[in-house]
Amino acid sequence: MTLINTKIRLISLDVFRGIAIAAMILVNNPGSWGYMYPVLQHAQWHGCTPTDVVFPSFLLIVGVAIAFSLSKFSPEHRLGGDGVPPSVYSRIGRRCLLLFLLGLILNGFPNYDLANIRIMGVLQRIAIAYGLSAIAILNLSRRQLWLISIFTLIGYWLAMTMIPVPGYSPGNLSPEGNLGAFIDQTILGSHHLWRGGPYDPEGLFSTAPATVTVIIGYLTGEWLKSQPRNSLTVINLVMFALSSLVVGYLWGIWFPINKALWTSSYVLVTAGWGLLLLAFCYGVIEVKNWRRWGKPFEIMGVNAIFLFVASGLLARILIRIRVGSEPVSPNLKTWIYENIFVSWAGFLNGSLMYAVATVIFWWAIAYIMYNRRWFLKV
């Protein structure tokens, strides 16, 4: 990470990213995992809750941001037969490597058992999806990007529903019997998967449709760049979002909406909800010029990756600090939750208040960084 200067950009993109990272911190830091409102929980398996929309929304905005950082090197914008400068690929490679390593650091902290460390994760998925989509964007036209996205989603659907896994019938989409889990177990090994297997919600095979989520964001960003900042642009974006939702929910009849498998229907449904939120942010901030409400989220959005990593590390530290010398002494997180929040809000609301307080704490850190112009870029 390095200190960088601010750049002119759409404020609505930073606000959207800030909303996503605030939501990620909120759902990842309840006072107790045993006391959570359903809206803040992931679907048990098939299905989609508001929490299941958070991560793909972040990937979506990664794609939109690419349209403002790399599109000048895309085939449509390069002059004549100019190729992509090697430095661009080097920058992409460094970013992917750093994100992947940060994910491994987060997974292993503080006891790095390399024989059993989880290899994949949220940052690792961002790294791979960003890298694959960036390479595609630099070498394919927009029409080709649409086609490869459609083929990827259809191909993933056919593979997941038609290719049998040893010991299971074709089309088995259970945690143990799906093709993605088999690929992850074969390549990575169960001991390197989420909670020791049998599957990983950020696995290798499901990263292919996750990459499409990034490409959808890029195509949206490219389109926004060519449109006037008016209500018609917002309406068109909303119509595209609604179309994605309709197709996604219909596809879900045959290929269930599932975050852990990142099914093709899940890609379209979450893209639809994410684009509706983007349309709201764009319309209110860029068209209506009502910006004050979004400032707190903008402050978090410009340092999103730092906040995700730092909040994850602190959460792990709090769990490992014991309060008291007794063998059954609670960890610091539990002590704070029970003595500061449960005491007046109860177990369920106290768990929510702990999560809200965590978001506020990290917003305060982000506010200090913002005022000092510290923008940490991966």
Contact 181, 167 (CB under 8 A): no
Q: Convert the pLDDT of each residue in 324-370 to its tens digit.
A: 877 788 899 999 999 999 989 999 999 999 999 999 999 999 999 99
The fraction of the chain above a pLDDT of 70, given in percent, is 96
Q: Convert the pLDDT of each residue in 79-93 to its tens digit.
A: 556 778 889 999 999
Write down the pLDDT at residue 348. Answer: 97
In angstroms, the CA 248 to CA 53 distance is 13
The fraction of the chain above a pLDDT of 90, given in percent, is 85
Write down the pLDDT at residue 4. Answer: 35
For residues 109 and 265, which has the higher predicted lDDT (pLDDT)? Answer: 265
Given a cut of 50, whether residue 6 has pLDDT beyond it is no
Q: Convert the pLDDT of each residue in 198-213 to its tens digit.
A: 999 999 999 999 999 9
Among residues 307, 233, 360, 261, the alpha carbon closest in space to that of 17 is found at 307
Which segments of the chain does DSSP mark as H helices, in order? 11-28, 54-69, 86-108, 122-139, 142-162, 179-187, 207-225, 231-251, 264-281, 295-301, 304-320, 332-336, 343-371
For residues 151 and 10, which has the higher predicted lDDT (pLDDT)? Answer: 151
- Tell me the pTM: 0.93
